[in-house]
Chains A and B, each alone.
Chain A
Amino acid sequence: MERQRKRGSLLIHGILWVISGLFLAPFLWMLSTSLKPLDQTMTNPPQWIPSSIHFENYWNAVSYNKDVLGYIPFVVYGVNTLALCILVVSGTVISNAVVAYAFARLRWPGRDVAFALTLATMMIPFPVLMVPLFALFRNLDWIGSFRPLWVPAFFGGAFNIFLLRQFFRTIPFELSEAAKLDGCSEWGIFTRVVLPLCKPALAVVALFSFLGTWKDFLGPLIYLMDQKSFTLSLGLQFYQSQHGGTQWNLLMAASTIMVAPIIILFFFTQKTFIKGISVTGIKG
């Protein structure tokens, strides 16, 4: 029995090693290519370890290297993306916390209908809204600015409302009652009693919205017009064959720079992340 179990766990380790290898290989390939000289990026058979390491690829990828790449203000894209992320994350956390509080802990007429409606909106595909939203933002003269990308974040979103509501309901209602007897206002109960107890859930919402904004491609593609206001997602496209051949080593260096902050963030927030996914309570 014991030997059988040992053999079983060895087998599982083996399979997991192979799967991990398959999941890691593209990353390692990206990293390896980002350090190669250009003429080594297309060797046959592929070389995993560059014969000489070229850290300057990273410098060339982010500096305005007019001869090699044309005008790609990578640093500007990075700053744009970060600023957008900060706006979206603050809007998402504030608005969803407030709204979820109403759905989780207050009784008001029409609440249950409104909540069902909120959940139903998750089924609306973005392509249906693409044209009317563009028309709306155009009427507001917002096209070309960042506003279409962050202002809606300040008005809540179905998934985050659902997630926070689940979490808010686990806080004992006696705490609210006690605070109310002490003369605390509803806003006071929200900010001083419930929110401090819900930091893990708020962190999850912040993390998800940061990652979503950092990754987003379609939104910036629709609303941003001027090359200088682009985000990393849009800017990275320019590394592809500007003048004939693609500089794969520089493209991979730029990709690595774009992926690195997310991987670092994930390593530091892993626990929050996993907890967050279990608080969503998706059991059906």
Chain B
Amino acid sequence: MGALQEDPQTSGGSELTAKRKEAFAGLAFASPWFIGFTVFLAGPLLMSMYYSFCDYSVLRKPVWVGGDNYAEIMHDEVFWQALKNTFVYAAISLPMGLVVSIAVALLLNTNVKGMAFYRTIIYLPSLVPTVALAVLWLWMFNGEYGLINETAKRFAVSPPNWLGDPLWSKPALALMSLWGVGGAVVIYLAGLQDVPQSLYEAADLDGASPWRKTWHVTLPMISPVIQFNMIMGIIGSLQVFSEPYIMFPGGAPERSTYMYTMYLFDNAFTFQKMGYASAMGWILFILIFILTMLALKGSDKRVHTGAM
């Protein structure tokens, strides 16, 4: 190091300037994020909190109304319906998605030929633009001539009218979401690659069956990935918007697919109740925060932390 040859006093000084230089460069490099964070995240978040206590439409200036929006929400039947719809949808699609994606990932992690081909096919649907996906499934689920029901009838099963029956519209959306498990599967695959081979070798020595190896070695080892996917799933499914918005205008049939974000969007841009929509946004934020914390805490004991 060059500093060794210099006299200790000036070297201390140059080290200090070097540090200061680096700190200055660091702040300069990070500055786009600071601007973006202030202008597009923190600022809007604070504004949203303020708006949630206001009567506000695009055309009028916000007028402070205190907790009125929140009080109104508590008595709003549509709000509760939309909240319930969203939770029911999440309660169906999350566990199904979790089980299917783990099972598919385990299959794709086996050592058989042509794996790249299978992996590609399973990943492809998650790349399909939401609108194309929604119209395609409208077509597939059609009660009169949809592919799913026509196929079911061939096997002498009498299928439901997915899109017209309030009881079946949410399961239809959940079923459709399974087609997009590819993203989660790829993350599981990355996790599966990191399970040390030595653990399997040890299990082999004990004469463990493939089933027991999966249950006692693989699943505990990928538990952090399961936790990650679960939290992302909670956050994503509670915000579901595009698919139901395109497929079920107005939440038809009988408002059974009217989701939380759809009602929020309608309040903001259709009914011009932007203060009300902001209050709904904050309630959603708090719900997501609580559920994420519960998912983190509740699964902590089960999650293997060695890999962290």
- Out of A23, A42, A157, A217, which one reaches B125, CB within 8 Å? A23
Whether A125 and B238, one on each chain, are in contact in the complex, defined by CB atoms closer than 8 angstroms, is yes
A102 touching B29, Cβ below 8 Å: yes
> Of residues A108, A138, A278, which shows the largest number of chain B Cβ atoms within 10 Å of its Cβ?
A108
Q: Does B120 contact A (CB under 8 A)?
A: yes
B73 lies within 8 A of chain A by Cβ: no
> A25-B147, A43-B145, A46-B150 are known contacts. Are A131 and B281 too (CB-CB below 8 A)?
yes
Q: Is the interface of B mostly helix, strand, loop or mixed?
A: helix
Instruction: Identify which of B123, B136, B145, B284 contacts A44 (C-beta below 8 A).
Output: B145
Contact partner of B118 (CB less than 8 A), chosen from A9, A16, A42, A270, is A16
Which residues of chain A in 128-155 are interfacial with respect to chain B, using CB atoms and an 8 Å cutoff?
128-136, 138, 152, 154-155
Interface residues of B in 147-205 (CB under 8 A from A): 147, 150-151, 153-154, 179, 186-187, 189-191, 193-194
| Cβ-defined contact, B261 with A127, below 8 A | yes
Whether A152 pairs with B40 at a CB distance below 8 angstroms is yes
Are A107 and B110 in contact, with the CB atoms below 8 A?
Answer: no
- Chain A residues with CB under 8 A of B217: none
Cα distance, A16 to B221, chains bound together (Å): 24
When distances are taken between beta carbons in the complex, the residues of chain B under 8 Å from A95 are 32-33, 36
A12 to B24, CA, bound (A): 57
In the complex, the answer to whether A135 meets B27 with C-beta atoms within 8 Å is no
Residues of chain A within 8 A of B110, CB atoms compared: 9, 12
Is A111 in the interface zone, CB < 8 Å from B? yes
- B-side interface size class: 35 or more
**Which of B9-17, B45-53, B91-99 is the interface stretch?**
B45-53
Is there contact, CB below 8 Å, between B128 and A133? no
Would B136 and A26 count as touching, CB distance under 8 A? yes
Asked whether B88 is an interface residue with its Cβ less than 8 Å from the other chain, the reply is no
Which residues on A sit within 8 Å (CB–CB) of B37? 117-118, 121, 155
Query: Known contacts A23-B179, A121-B37; can you find 6 more A-B pairs with CB under 8 A?
Result: A26-B136, A46-B151, A125-B284, A128-B45, A234-B131, A284-B307
A-B contact pairs, 21 of them (CB 8 A): A20-B117, A26-B147, A26-B179, A29-B139, A29-B147, A42-B144, A45-B150, A95-B36, A108-B25, A123-B288, A125-B235, A131-B278, A132-B43, A136-B39, A155-B33, A186-B22, A211-B127, A215-B128, A217-B129, A277-B189, A283-B307
Q: Taking beta carbons and an 8 Å cutoff, which residues of A are in contact with B?
A: 8-9, 12-13, 15-16, 19-20, 23-27, 29-30, 33, 41-46, 95, 98-99, 101-103, 106-109, 111, 114, 117-118, 121, 123-136, 138, 152, 154-157, 161, 181, 186-187, 190, 211, 214-215, 217-218, 222, 232-234, 236-237, 239-240, 248, 251-252, 255, 258-259, 262-263, 266-267, 270, 274, 277-278, 280, 282-284
B interface vs A, CB < 8 Å? 2, 19, 21-30, 32-37, 39-41, 43-45, 47-48, 51, 58, 104, 107-108, 110-112, 114, 116-118, 120-125, 127-132, 135-140, 144-145, 147, 150-151, 153-154, 179, 186-187, 189-191, 193-194, 210, 223-225, 227-228, 235, 238-239, 241-242, 245-246, 260-261, 264-265, 268-269, 274, 277-278, 280-282, 284-285, 288-289, 292, 303, 305, 307-308
